[in-house]
Amino acid sequence: MFTIEKPLPRGTEDTAPFWEAALRGELRMQRCSSCGHIRFPPATLCPRCWSETYEWSLLSGKGKVFSWVVVYQSQHPAFNADTPYNVAIVELEEGPRLHTQLVDCSLEEIRLEMPVEVVFEKVRDDVALPKFRPRR
């Protein structure tokens, strides 16, 4: 049978460390070595102080639901069988907001500012997606 595969992220030179960390079950983002600002998405310059130096810092993986939508009509055929499903923005404790999906809860349970924690869904041998579940 013909199946359409879901599109997966393709790492670039700048984003590869993010995806490599995810595969190890770690949420890492660039932390500016000069001012401490967390850069997301990854960038060559800090948007706050213009420094080029940074480290890939391990984050807490904790945050809260900033916003979400429920998709009833998929815009890509590979997601048709998943409807209805959520697409969420989680605000991490460290500040950045991440587009993601909430798991381990029903659509009816999702609430604004609901405390969540990261989990990694390995969708292929070389790709793991950071998703978030409620902190109970």
Q: Which residues bind Zn ion (CB under 5 A)?
A: 32, 34-35, 37, 46, 48-49, 51
Query: Smaller CB distance to Zn ion: residue 49 or 78?
Result: 49
Q: How many CB atoms lie within 10 A of CB 28?
A: 17
CB of 83 to Zn ion, least distance (A): 41
Q: How many CB atoms lie within 10 A of CB 116?
A: 26
Q: How many CB atoms lie within 10 A of CB 86?
A: 18
CB of 77 to Zn ion, least distance (A): 42
CB of 102 to Zn ion, least distance (A): 31
Residue 95 near residue 68 (C-beta atoms within 8 A): no
Query: Smaller CB distance to Zn ion: residue 39 or 131?
Result: 39
Residues 6+ apart with CB under 8 A from 77: 4
Query: Smaller CB distance to Zn ion: residue 32 or 92?
Result: 32
